[in-house]
Amino acid sequence: MNIKKNYPKILLIFYMIIWTWAAISPNYRSVWVDENILPVLFVFLLVLTYGKFKFSNFSYTLIFIFLVLHAIGGHYSYSEMPLFESIKENYGLSRNHYDRVVHFLFGVLFFSPVYEILNRIFKVPKGWRCLFVALLTIIGIKASFEIIEYGYVAIRNNSLTITNYLGEQGDSLDAIKDITLGFVGAGISMIILFLKDKIM
């Protein structure tokens, strides 16, 4: 078996195992459904387009990490993730910061896949221009998600969706902070890739 060639398929199998675990007795079934609409569509899209466009194994790894983190958030709900709940209690924090971490990591982890799409599909030459457009794309995705999230919550209009899916935890600036964290994460990845291109 050619592990390098089949690496994305191996990751998909591992993700399906983790996703199945997360689907079993989540803290809030309706929240789990809410959280899994976009990931399921995204994975389906990756599988559907696999024959025409393949990311690098590095980017597939980053996507896999994010999807696993999201599956965990969907299982427990982002505002009640046990490890970060313990951190909250032990350090007297005002909120469970798991969602903040994942929003930051979205920027870090999805920068490379977006960069590859811009370079290979949209033919943006590698270099600072492509890196900058990737950064703007990540910001756009983050902002679009927050708008979609708020719209979805307005349509669903129930307390569980508002409390555990939206997960503001009393912070009226939650959406702005989430976008900012995604931007900072993407900025870090942009700098790393820029330095890598310079060194290599």
Instruction: List pLDDT tens digits, range 124-158.
Output: 999 999 999 999 999 999 999 999 988 888 887 77
Measured distance between the N- and C-terminal CA atoms of the chain, rounded to whole angstroms: 31
- How far apart (Å, rounded) are the C-alpha atoms in residues 17 and 186? 28
pLDDT cut 90: percent of the chain above it: 80
SS3 27: coil
pTM of the predicted structure, to 2 decimals: 0.94
- How far apart (Å, rounded) are the C-alpha atoms in residues 190 and 196? 10
pLDDT tens digits along 18-69? 999 999 999 999 999 999 999 999 999 999 999 999 999 999 999 999 999 9
Burial of 159 (0-12, 13-18, 19+ CB in 10 A): exposed
Tokens of 64: 């896999």
- How far apart (Å, rounded) are the C-alpha atoms in residues 107 and 93? 24
Neighbours of 42 (CB within 10 A): 14
DSSP state of 162: I
Of 17-26, 42-51, 71-80, 159-168, where does mean pLDDT reach its minimum? 159-168
Cβ atoms of 88 and 56 within 8 Å: the answer is no
- Output the pLDDT for position 165: 74
Q: What are phi and psi of 51, to 5 degrees?
A: -70, -25
Stretch 106-120: mean pLDDT: 98
Domain ranges of the chain: 3-199
Q: Has residue 104 got a pLDDT over 90? A: yes
Provide the residue type at 5 as one letter: K
- Output the pLDDT for position 171: 81
Could you identify the residue written with the tokens 């033919």?
123
Cβ atoms of 161 and 31 within 8 Å: the answer is yes
Cβ atoms of 131 and 115 within 8 Å: the answer is yes
